[in-house]
Amino acid sequence: MKRKRFTEEQIIGVLKEAEAGAKTADLARRHGISEATIYNWKAKYGGMEVSEAKRLRSLEDENAKLKRLLADAMLDNAALKDLLSKNW
């Protein structure tokens, strides 16, 4: 089963329904997600507005990209050190 990626607007909308008093089980069933997903969203996005959630997601994406770049640079560095350490 393919995971559905919810937009920030959808996530904040579900959380606002929960804050308004809707039961988590009902929300999960209606939106086709698990209750655990709603609890995870509450922990991550609770109290945020849509613009803040979008900014958080963009920062997380940028962070992941920078981590990949760092890992590539470290591998290149290790390969160059290995090459230089060999006797010609």
pLDDT band at 81 (very low <50, low <70, confident <90, very high): very high
**How far is Cα 34 from Cα 14, in angstroms, rounded to an integer?**
12
**pTM of the predicted model, to two decimals?**
0.69
Residue 84 predicted with pLDDT over 80 = yes
The tokens 């160059």 sit on which residue? Answer: 80
**b/e map 9-34, b = 16+ CB within 10 Å:** eebbebbebbeeeeebeebbeebebe
pLDDT at 86: 87
pLDDT tens, residue by residue, 15-72: 999 999 999 999 999 999 999 999 999 999 998 999 999 999 999 999 999 999 999 9
CATH topology of domain 8-85: Arc Repressor Mutant, subunit A (1.10.10)
Q: Quote the pLDDT of residue 88.
A: 62
Tokens in use for 87? Answer: 């006797």
